[in-house]
């Protein structure tokens, strides 16, 4: 190759010398070729027509009963499904879809039935409380209290006690029956309070 400036420029080495020797036209052709290849790769392929298909299924398990069948060919779909409703009827839906859109026809087979509810004169059993008996006591340092109780057929009898800070013991005897709740409160011992004298410090 020769350039307009003579052979000396083409004998130089490096990229700058190559550009001078080859010329602008060549590099524009390379750029155009790269753009065309990129555009060809980026173009989407043709539209794929959906493949034909066909399926169906059914479920019948206890009170659950439903199913469906459908087929399609080239974008057109046709099918139906059914379900057994709680009111005893069977709902069937027939549908199809094509270039004009989605269409459906709904039918019901059978007659709806609803359970009838009338007055009931049944006997309601009232639970009778079971007999029981318990007691406990806590004595930990300055904490001292306890309780005991027994019950039979709705009647309750018991008592509890607590050691008060003033040294007395408070005791409550109680009972409950058909006439209500009753309690008797007693105190054992004499109350004692610490005496406080004048203080000469902070």
**Domains contained in the chain, number:** 3
Query: For residue 171, is it within any domain?
Result: yes
What is the average pLDDT value for the chain, to the nearest integer? 82
Is the pLDDT higher at 138 or at 5? Answer: 138
Domain coverage including residue 149: 132-188
Beta bridge partners of 88: none
Per-residue pLDDT at 5 exceeds 70: no
Tell me, what's the pLDDT at 153? Answer: 82
CA separation for the pair 135, 185 (Å, rounded): 19
Structure confidence at residue 16 as a pLDDT band (50, 70, 90): low
The single residue listed with the structure tokens 């409380």 is 129
Query: For residue 115, is it within any domain?
Result: no
Per-residue pLDDT at 59 exceeds 80: yes
Q: Answer yes or no: do 35 and 62 share one domain.
A: no
Q: By mean pLDDT, which of 57-66, 77-86, 144-153, 161-170 is the weakest?
A: 57-66
Q: Answer yes or no: do 36 and 70 share one domain.
A: no
Across the range 103-128, mean pLDDT stands at: 84
Q: Answer yes or no: do 21 and 59 share one domain.
A: no
In tens, the pLDDT along 92-102 reads: 999 999 989 99
Q: Answer yes or no: do 36 and 58 share one domain.
A: no
Tell me, what's the pLDDT at 7? Answer: 46
Query: For residue 37, is it within any domain?
Result: yes
Query: For residue 198, is it within any domain?
Result: no
Q: Answer yes or no: do 37 and 64 share one domain.
A: no
Q: By mean pLDDT, which of 44-58, 61-75, 181-195 is the weakest?
A: 44-58
Query: For residue 200, is it within any domain?
Result: no
- Please name the residue ranges forming H helices in the chain: 7-10, 15-22, 24-42
Query: For residue 150, is it within any domain?
Result: yes
Query: For residue 114, is it within any domain?
Result: no
Tokens of 161: 């006690």
The single residue listed with the structure tokens 């318990």 is 134
Q: Answer yes or no: do 143 and 183 share one domain.
A: yes
Q: Answer yes or no: do 136 and 183 share one domain.
A: yes
CA separation for the pair 167, 184 (Å, rounded): 20
Query: For residue 146, is it within any domain?
Result: yes
> In this prediction, what percent of the chain has a pLDDT beyond 90?
35
Kindly give, in sequence order, each residue whose CB lies less than 8 Å from that of residue 157, ignoring residues fewer than 6 positions away. Answer: 149, 150, 151, 174, 175
């Amino acid at each position: 190759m020769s350039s307009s400036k003579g052979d000396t420029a083409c004998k130089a080495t490096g990229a700058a010398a190559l550009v001078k020797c080859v010329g602008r036209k060549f590099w524009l052709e390379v750029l155009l070729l790269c753009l065309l290849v990129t555009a060809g790769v980026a173009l989407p392929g043709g539209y794929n027509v959906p493949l034909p298909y066909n399926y169906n299924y059914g479920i019948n398990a206890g009170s659950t009963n439903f199913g469906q069948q459908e087929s399609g060919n080239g974008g057109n779909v046709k099918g139906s499904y059914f379900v057994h409703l709680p009111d005893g009827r069977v709902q069937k839906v027939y549908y199809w879809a094509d270039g004009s859109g989605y269409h459906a026809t709904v039918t019901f087979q059978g007659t709806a039935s609803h359970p009838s509810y009338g007055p009931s004169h049944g006997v309601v059993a009232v639970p009778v409380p079971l007999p029981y008996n318990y007691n406990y006591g806590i004595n930990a340092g300055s904490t001292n209290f306890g309780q005991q109780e027994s019950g039979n057929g709705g009647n309750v009898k018991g008592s509890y006690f607590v050691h008060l800070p003033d040294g007395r013991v408070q005791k409550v005897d109680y009972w409950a029956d058909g006439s209500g709740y009753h309690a008797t409160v007693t105190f054992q011992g004499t109350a004692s309070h610490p005496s406080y004298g004048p203080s000469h410090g902070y």
